[in-house]
Amino acid sequence: MSEQPFTLAIPDADLEYLRKKLDVVRLPDELDGAGWQYGAPLAHIQRLLAHWKDGFDWRKAEAEINKLAMFTRDVDVEGFGTLNIHYLHQKSEVKNAIPLLFVHGWPGHFLEVRKLLPILTAKSPDHPSFHVVAVSLPGFAFSEGPKKPGFEGRQYAEVLNKVMLALGYNEYVYQGGDWGHLLGAHVAHQYGHKHVKAWHSNMPCYRAPKLLSNPFLTLEPYYSAAARQRISKSAKYRVTGSGYFLEQATKPQTIGYSLADSPVGLLAWIYEKLVAWTDEYPWTDDEVLEWISVYWFSRDGPAASVRIYHALTGGSTHDSFAGAARSTIPLGVSYFPKEIIQLPKSWTQLLGNVVFESEHDKGGHFAATEQPEALAGDLRKMYGKGGPAHGVVPGRNGYD
Amino acid sequence: MPSEPNPASPNPETPFTLSIPQAALDALRQKLALTRFPDELDDAGWAYGAPLADVKRLAARWADGFDWRAAEAGINALPMYTRPIAVDGHGTLDVHYVHQRSTVAGAVPLLFVHGWPGHFLEVRKVLPLLMASPVDHSDGHVSFHVVALSLPGFGFSEAPKKPGFAGRQYAELFNKLMLSLGYEQYVYQGGDWGHVLGTHAVAHFGGKHIKAWLTNMPMFRPPSFLSNPLILFSSKLPYADSALRARAQDAMAQYRAKSFGYMAEQATQPQTIGYSLSDSPVGLLAWIYEKLVAWTDNYPWTDDEVLEWVSVYWFSRAGPTASARIYYEMTGGSGDLVSVLSTKRTSVPLGLSYFPREALQGPPSWASTTGRVVFTSTHTKGGHFAAHEQPEELVGDVRKMFGKGGPAYGVVPGKDGYDA
């Protein structure tokens, strides 16, 4: 099926069903003075739950979401048949705007592009403009997920590239964080130069260097306090914040039962990260609940979304970069201070051909939500006149 | 049977009858009726976790077919009690336990300690065997007075209310429980957390109170820093048979590679996963069932067996979330497995029972960093839940270790386990 406009319309029965489940929630207790030490605090969850039952207006949120230019189309994936993929496609009035593919991660979704849209598509002689495509990854939000095992980096990249080609963007640029970053490495590897001309990441991590191949980079933490400091910032995530990763990478079905069946379980699982991974972002309850609701009401259900961890890591037997060799297409990176994984900046060159780097003093993992101006500003600098990736897409340099 | 009165310990004991309110049963049924299942990848099998067909089948029976009241009546046939135990800095916790006294007056007092996702009912099959023949003692086996508690936060024991309830606190609670029952000196048997807490119990109360102990999860600290303990593990496991050693190595490798996610989450964010475990019956069911199958040696679980097991968690006094916190408290919120063991070495006699599908086991030589190994036994079948899977085998080890002629015979003065 070719492109169809997409209107989000969760059936009344689904809303009613959620209401019934919220009415019979059984909450745990909590240790005295627990704070955030043990996970999402009970008082927060109770408050969010109360608001979800009686205050949060899904239909209002849905109406706002429907103001976005959304579509679905069938995409063939070799060996997996057809997946019906949901995406947002916002064109700029600038005819030669740069086609940009924005890719979310977990527990993110396509709406993370929302705040970037007006900035990226704005027309001005002073900065480039973009046509923005934000895809819901297979198994997330309103995209169909694969039904068979073996849907890995290669397949995700295939879906992403095919959507862009189908929209007439034979050549485009890519932006992502979280899985958007990890899949960016795959897209760059598979389609670099031919289709994807440059990419940008707001979570620029990669494999650590090996002593024999990169002695100076490997040894840098030993003599550079700055390098050590960056690595130490990752420790909190690694030591106390990555249990979800290991579970999702090894037993996605097991945790999937909880995420599918328990609204409060899903809420806590995601909310913990929305707070832990951001830089004191002032989440409103409505914001959180809209975010969680996209997962709760997702087409294939929340359990489908965590399978990517297993698929891309071989069930935790290798890292997510396996199969994605370093591409030489231009790479831009943005460093945000509360990003969960931070590595020495010198290591970024192992990830790709770094032509643009930017460091910020505010913002965390969900950069597009927390610091949309900063992130969009980086893209404008990278692709604008005089920028290191200006004109990478022939005939679409972002200006009329 | 009532406990031996101990004038030194005024703590009152109350007989315990399990009686889950009908409202709780109705609420469970109501939730089950509202279950939303995920889908599953084609031909997933066990590769991604508990299979959908299994979970659906179990959930359906849980809602309609599984008779909790019948299970409850069966549980109530066990001699159960509660009593308040004070723990320094944590106030008083109401502790639930099974206490079965042998008719042999000189029976050896034995404390049986479960783990996660286990519970006190793991003592059920070994209980009659540990009593030995009650009528004429013709089987000649050593006999025990058995105490099997619900760990704080598990089963029907109250949970700690504050952070910091860890090795020392569990040890204190165990010892006070045994003292309150009149058992000044006793022996200890455990696996999983029962093993880990055993190292702490012995560190604090070994010698004076705990005279010897047997573990069925013989995991210990390596004697020196090693970057890959797994290498040493595999070469020195005490299985005579290479096929058995291979099965054990496979269990260990599987655990480390594929079965560790629950530990990483519970040790770092127990409250987060706790919302799911508390709120979703199938979520809890899948979380536990996955381990009941993965960690056993082809044990033929019946659906009712699984459902009774999970129901104990679902209906637990403190709720299922409390049970996850032990991982956090014992690892300091880090999930570092090795750090959970006590570092103290004692000369308290230690016995090791090796079951081939136990995922966490190390060579006997490593055990000597913790205690004086006097007994080692290897089995040809059985896994993590040894008391449930292989009760005769486990009790066989207990008998060999503590019976006449055994290396720990008579460790408890005046209570050698036989009639005079």
Token pair of A335, please?
Answer: 């460093």
Residue in B271, B280, B334 closest to A261 by CB: B280
What is the model's pLDDT at position A28?
98
Q: pLDDT band for B2, please (50, 70, 90 cuts).
A: very low
* Nearest Cα to Cα of residue B119 among B305, B249, B302, B255: B305
Residue in B163, B260, B286 closest to A257 by CB: B286
Residues of A in contact with B329 (CB under 8 A): none
Counting residues of chain A whose pLDDT is more than 70, the rounded percentage is 100
Q: What mean pLDDT comes out for the span A224-241?
A: 91
Q: pLDDT band for B139, please (50, 70, 90 cuts).
A: low
Is this complex scored with an ipTM above 0.90? yes
Run of H or E including B96:
strand B92-100
Other Cβ atoms within 10 Å of B242 Cβ, number: 8
First to last CA, chain A: 33
Listed in sequence order, the residues at least 6 apart from B303 whose beta carbon sits closer than 8 Å to its beta carbon are B57, B58, B61, B65, B66
Q: How far is B7 from chain A (nearest CA, A)?
A: 34
- CA–CA separation, A73 vs A85, rounded Å? 5
What is the model's pLDDT at position B283?
98
pLDDT of B223 above 80: no
The answer to whether B143 and B131 are in contact (CB under 8 A) is: yes
Residues B79-137: tens digit of each pLDDT? 999 999 999 999 999 999 999 999 998 999 999 999 999 999 999 999 999 987 545 55
- CA–CA separation, B241 vs A386, rounded Å? 71
Least confident of A50-59, B1-10, B291-300: B1-10
What is the model's pLDDT at position B1?
43
Residues A145-196: tens digit of each pLDDT? 999 999 999 999 999 999 999 999 999 999 999 999 999 999 999 999 999 9
Q: How far is A60 from chain B (nearest CA, A)?
A: 25
What is the model's pLDDT at position B10?
56
pLDDT of B4 above 70: no
Residues of A in contact with B51 (CB under 8 A): 253
Binding-face residues of B in 38-57 toward A, CB within 8 A: 38-44, 47-52, 55
What is the model's pLDDT at position B140?
76
> E strands of chain A, at which residues?
4-5, 70-77, 81-90, 98-103, 130-135, 172-176, 196-201, 327-335, 352-359
User: Touching check for B410 and chain A: CB below 8 Å?
Assistant: no
Residues B40-88: tens digit of each pLDDT? 999 999 999 999 999 999 999 999 999 999 999 999 999 999 999 999 9
CA-CA-CA-CA torsion for B404, B406, B411, B415, nearest 10 degrees?
A: -20
What is the phi/psi pair of residue A175, to 5°? -135, 135
Q: pLDDT band for B233, please (50, 70, 90 cuts).
A: low
Residues B27-44: tens digit of each pLDDT? 999 999 999 999 999 999
Run of H or E including A299:
none
Q: What mean pLDDT comes out for the span B194-214?
A: 98
Q: Which of A16, A22, A30, A31 to mutate to test the interface with B (most CBs of B within 10 A)?
A: A31
Token pair of B70, please?
Answer: 């019948």
Binding-face residues of B in 102-131 toward A, CB within 8 A: none
Q: Reading across the β-sheet that carries A81-90, which strands appear in turn?
A: A4-5, A70-77, A81-90, A130-135, A98-103, A172-176, A196-201, A327-335, A352-359
Q: How far is A214 from chain B (nearest CA, A)?
A: 23
What is the model's pLDDT at position A216?
87
Residues of A in contact with B290 (CB under 8 A): 251, 254
Q: How far is B334 from chain A (nearest CA, A)?
A: 6
- CA–CA separation, A30 vs A41, rounded Å? 8
User: Touching check for B365 and chain A: CB below 8 Å?
Assistant: no
Residue in A27, A265, A267 closest to B280 by CB: A265
Other Cβ atoms within 10 Å of A238 Cβ, number: 12
Residues of A in contact with B52 (CB under 8 A): 253
Amino acid symbol at A226: A
